[in-house]
Structure 1
């Protein structure tokens, strides 16, 4: 949304809105945040950006906006995380615009840097920007059952690779009970919403054995996910086609939620039920450490 403007009304509440804000943690894959300064009309102006604290880096800290250069992106980062205290560190970044024959204009942006220090013995994947993203191939344990285990298919899928169970007709071609099949154990950093990205496989007409797997967090009960909807005979599931369907995205997003999860280290396990499920990646969201 544009800033400045009707600032007190530019939030979900619709009134008494605070200044715009951005946040950053040390595990963000990008390492910074950005703020776009743009033209609200034809008049040219110059701007400066200053911080209320010395530990913020602003680049560029000044610039000019005109009809020929109507926008400038300003990157904000933390100079040295070791100088910050654990928890939330808040600062104000002030943008000041100066234009000919117009009063000087200032807009404050609240910047929050949240520092998290991990225990020395911690091993696993850490939340960055509110999400933990784990490639299925990066599991810490691959536990076989009755000679059936997960194997990597390099280059398969939209990211690193895919993981599928082999041999394809193992376990005498009989499925596993939820939580008892071959499992991939993925270290996870405390979350309530887990998304498993699965290749858009086909049930192959096996009405009584739809593709499925189980998701288990720590020692809790496994949750069965039958991710491929059962279509009408001779038809396709509604989500198969379309501009945002399984085929167009080359992926099926399987969402599992867990309640009452405390902050800290957790273990995520994906267990095979029916052979031929092929997973690519796992994301966890709404996480607090």
Structure 2
């Protein structure tokens, strides 16, 4: 590859190949927090000790929740941070939590660092929600001012009604939908344009694109566009959703409003709430690029448009999400229904379980 490519700091190539700053672990001096470090899934924090990723002098970290329809296991990294060999042991205050390895040894050369998995046996776990405490003990002290690492693992032992079929299931506080996996399609009341939905494999960062054909079709409305229907089942209590407001993010492929008289549009409805019609590309005058096109988190860098809508959450149970594409140039990839569990990431949450 002839183009300079080592040392990117923004979208343009570096002017010369330049390695980023390198750091080495000091192996001649013991860490202030002792000889053992612990980190958990989705966190950059390390305990015991202080860093910018968790509360000052706290020895506790929170592990993402587990439930029967999503992740039932979460990883924990245990590694050497000191100069001494050390024996470690992990225990739980709940008999239904099991570990891939519950004890071991660490040496300072880094060859014995280990990732273990904590798994919840939901057949033995109590119904409902709870928190399990995990303790990781060391055969040596935790430095001069820190204590034994403690991890909080929350579980949600939810049960799906047996009569719920053909839809998505909430897991980890969200529902992530791949657009092509709709539950059903409601034909348009008037289909004079003879449009239909077509799957374009691979036209997505995750699975596929879904669009209207033919591409020469006119602009549509709720009476002339077929509706995509997604059945959803949620477990989150209404009190856990701030303001009873759900955020729904639609992810579409990068594009522009090539015809200013026909901006790309879609319509969205949850249950029987009012339909929201959304123009997700906001053009600017004088030929300037639309809002959100450029920048490190813009549409180009993300290879996607993100469009957000707010709806009212009425509580756990069955829900129906409807989506209408109103311009044939629009390609939708996925939708994220956030009940408080969507975390920042490039690709977004993986697809939720469905039946």
Deviation at 1:10, TM superposition (A): 4.4
Aligned residue for 1:194? 248
Instruction: Summarize the Cα distance change of 1:101–1:174 in structure 2 as closer, same or farther, 3 Å threshold.
Output: closer
Are 2:114 and 1:72 equivalent residues in the alignment? yes
Deviation at 1:120, TM superposition (A): 0.5
Q: Secondary structure at the match of 1:248?
A: helix
Aligned residue for 1:209? 262
Does the 8 Å contact 1:149/1:183 carry over to 2? no
Aligned residue for 2:77? 36
Does the 8 Å contact 1:189/1:264 carry over to 2? yes
Structure 1, unaligned runs of 5 or more: none
Deviation at 1:138, TM superposition (A): 0.8
Are 2:107 and 1:107 equivalent residues in the alignment? no
Are 2:175 and 1:135 equivalent residues in the alignment? no
> 2-side partners of 1:216 and 1:182: how far apart?
13
Instruction: Summarize the Cα distance change of 1:229–1:102 in structure 2 as closer, same or farther, 3 Å threshold.
Output: closer
Aligned residue for 2:219? 174
Give the total of aligned pairs. 278
Instruction: Summarize the Cα distance change of 1:272–1:153 in structure 2 as closer, same or farther, 3 Å threshold.
Output: same
> 1-side partners of 2:62 and 2:141: how far apart?
28
Are 2:52 and 1:21 equivalent residues in the alignment? no
Deviation at 1:105, TM superposition (A): 5.6
Instruction: Summarize the Cα distance change of 1:38–1:180 in structure 2 as closer, same or farther, 3 Å threshold.
Output: farther
Relative to the length of structure 1, the TM-score reads 0.85
Instruction: Summarize the Cα distance change of 1:101–1:83 in structure 2 as closer, same or farther, 3 Å threshold.
Output: closer
Deviation at 1:84, TM superposition (A): 2.0
> 1-side partners of 2:142 and 2:325: how far apart?
69
How big is each residue's C-alpha offset from its partner over 1:252-281, in whole Å with a ceiling of 9 and x where there is no partner?
111111124311111111112222111011
How big is each residue's C-alpha offset from its partner over 1:180-214, in whole Å with a ceiling of 9 and x where there is no partner?
6321111123481211110112211x222211101
Deviation at 1:40, TM superposition (A): 3.7
> 1-side partners of 2:153 and 2:142: how far apart?
31
Deviation at 1:238, TM superposition (A): 4.4
Are 2:318 and 1:265 equivalent residues in the alignment? yes
Does the 8 Å contact 2:59/2:149 carry over to 1? no
Does the 8 Å contact 1:44/1:65 carry over to 2? yes
Does the 8 Å contact 1:45/1:65 carry over to 2? yes
> 1-side partners of 2:325 and 2:93: how far apart?
53
> 1-side partners of 2:281 and 2:142: how far apart?
63
Aligned residue for 1:274? 327
Deviation at 1:245, TM superposition (A): 2.2
Instruction: Summarize the Cα distance change of 1:98–1:231 in structure 2 as closer, same or farther, 3 Å threshold.
Output: same
RMSD: 2.9
Q: Secondary structure at the match of 1:233?
A: helix
Relative to the length of structure 2, the TM-score reads 0.70
Deviation at 1:283, TM superposition (A): 1.4
Alignment of 1:88-99 (within 5 A): 88-99=129-140
How big is each residue's C-alpha offset from its partner over 1:221-267, in whole Å with a ceiling of 9 and x where there is no partner?
11122111212232322422333321222211111111243111111
How big is each residue's C-alpha offset from its partner over 1:57-91, in whole Å with a ceiling of 9 and x where there is no partner?
1122122233312743221011x312222212432
> 2-side partners of 1:260 and 1:137: how far apart?
24
